[in-house]
Structure 1
Amino acid sequence: MQNPTSLAPAGPFSEDEREAVYRAIETRRDVRSQFLPKPIADTVLRRLLEAAHHAPSVGFMQPWNFIVIRDSAVKTRIRQAFSRANEAEANKFPDSRRALYSAMKLQGIAEAPINLCITCDRERGGPVILGRTHNRDTDIYSTVCAVQNLWLAARVEGIGVGWVSIFEEGDLRDILGLPDRIVPVAYLCLGHVDELCSEPELQTRGWAERLPLDDLIFQDGWGQKSG
């Protein structure tokens, strides 16, 4: 019986290709204030969306949609929604951190030529999907993989990406006209950049430190260290 699955060579990448992939991963940054006014070419945006669309998804459900936002009026409403949520967010931190929080720029909604909302359709593929029957949230996880794919592709293209997460979901739903079954997973700002922070900005500003990898690796069960 003929195998219907076509196969391609597997093997490692060349050394230069491997280094390029790891460089993209290690130098990816969350961009807020470095956006240039230069527009993103449609061909580049298409490549980024193709990269996102090639993300892995449980049961090949492909639950994502991509809302591309260029209209300044829509951006203004989004920025106003952010400002309301951001004010409430600041008040949740103790006084010792509130000043630093308020000093940080946490969005580039108006400055970025393109805003992009990546959503998850929780009904795509029907009620029973291979691999999802015991964990409904695998559609959300799959959509986040699409976000990461796009982010790494953007790094390769010299496009900065900023993830803006400080919103009331209801505001996004109202502004973008999202149906009930659609979940807004990521609101991203995209634009050309000339420079990126050498380290994550929150680390540079003393907000947090990267955790040591060895402290996060267990062997064969929670809390068990190898050796």
Structure 2
Amino acid sequence: MSNQNDPFTDAQREGLYRAIFERRDVRSQFLPDAIPDEVLARILRAAHHAPSVGFMQPWDFIVIDSLAVRGQVLASFNEENAKASENYTGERQQTYRTLKLQGILESPINLCITCDRSRGGPHVLGRSSIMEMDLFSTCLSVQNLWLAARAEGIGVGWVSILDQGILSDILQLPDHVYPLAYLCLGYVSEFLEQPELQAKGWRSRLPLEELVHGNGWGQPLEHQRLASYLAGK
């Protein structure tokens, strides 16, 4: 058994990077197969081991398998998605309307990760200047869950086109609890080679070398070897 201070082996490191690069936002590939309880528990445990400001651990996890509850969430999505389509015109709007942006009923499990904004009391260590650190911490829990799910062969889709007030009412959340991420989880028929929106021509991945600055915004990197690696040279 390895010591936690030991560096990762090449295989372990490769597995981590594989989970990062092969993670996908899944909407259309869900299978109806149930997620075993022990697998779901492992994924939730990984999410719970995310870092958090002041160790406040602001997250809770609502596991949703009720079709009635998911039907209410889907109704909210449909209403918000119709509004969202009006942000575009012409061919762009037609393309938007062909995109499948949720798997609420197709996935066997939905999961809402919430942020309890009162957890830890009024003065949380490290949160005095940036009050949103609790939300940022909860996002790290989402990412932990997503990568663990990918390692387990489980797809995750984040449904972001929802009215958070309506979602809070559906899930009966207290006023101080914010529904940060509504996720669809399940085994999939395939993990796509590239993000679905990229494959369908909606957006392309930005070049990394254009996003890394040196010592200030818009300043070139002084480390030319790093710049070369970022550019893939």
Instruction: Tell me if 1:193 matches 2:183.
Output: no
How far residue 166 of structure 1 moved from its aligned partner, in angstroms, is 0.2
Instruction: Tell me if 1:134 matches 2:121.
Output: no
Helix, strand or coil: the match of 1:223?
A: coil
Matched residues, percent identical?
Answer: 57
- In 2: Cα distance, 1:154 partner to 1:9 partner: 22
Partner of 1:44: 39
Among 51, 59, 65, the alignment partner of 2:60 is 65
Instruction: Tell me if 1:94 matches 2:89.
Output: yes
Count of residues in correspondence between the two structures: 220
Alignment of 1:11-30 (within 5 A): 11-30=6-25
- In 2: Cα distance, 1:73 partner to 1:110 partner: 10
Partner of 1:32: 27
- In 1: Cα distance, 2:185 partner to 2:101 partner: 14
Task: Give me the TM-score of the superposition, normalised by structure 1.
Answer: 0.95
Structure 1 spans left out of the alignment, 5+ residues: 1-7
Amino acid across the alignment from 1:129:
V
How far residue 55 of structure 1 moved from its aligned partner, in angstroms, is 0.3
Among 70, 93, 106, the alignment partner of 1:111 is 106
Partner of 1:171: 166
Q: Deviations over 1:95-148 (max 9, x none)?
A: 231111100110000011000000000000000011101000000000000000
Distance 1:131 1:175, change over 3 A: same
Instruction: Tell me if 1:121 matches 2:132.
Output: no
Helix, strand or coil: the match of 1:161?
A: strand
Instruction: Tell me if 1:182 matches 2:191.
Output: no
How far residue 68 of structure 1 moved from its aligned partner, in angstroms, is 0.4
Partner of 2:200: 205
Structure 2 spans left out of the alignment, 5+ residues: 223-233
Among 151, 154, 157, the alignment partner of 2:152 is 157
Helix, strand or coil: the match of 1:152?
A: helix
How far residue 94 of structure 1 moved from its aligned partner, in angstroms, is 2.4
Write out the 4+ residue segments of structure 1 that deviate beyond 6 Å after TM superposition: none
How far residue 183 of structure 1 moved from its aligned partner, in angstroms, is 0.6
Report the RMSD for the aligned CA atoms in angstroms: 0.9
- In 1: Cα distance, 2:27 partner to 2:118 partner: 33
Partner of 2:226: none
Task: Give me the TM-score of the superposition, normalised by structure 2.
Answer: 0.93
Q: Deviations over 1:52-79 (max 9, x none)?
A: 0000101100000000000010011110
How far residue 11 of structure 1 moved from its aligned partner, in angstroms, is 4.2
Amino acid across the alignment from 1:67:
I
How far residue 206 of structure 1 moved from its aligned partner, in angstroms, is 0.4
Q: Deviations over 1:187-206 (max 9, x none)?
A: 00000113111000110000
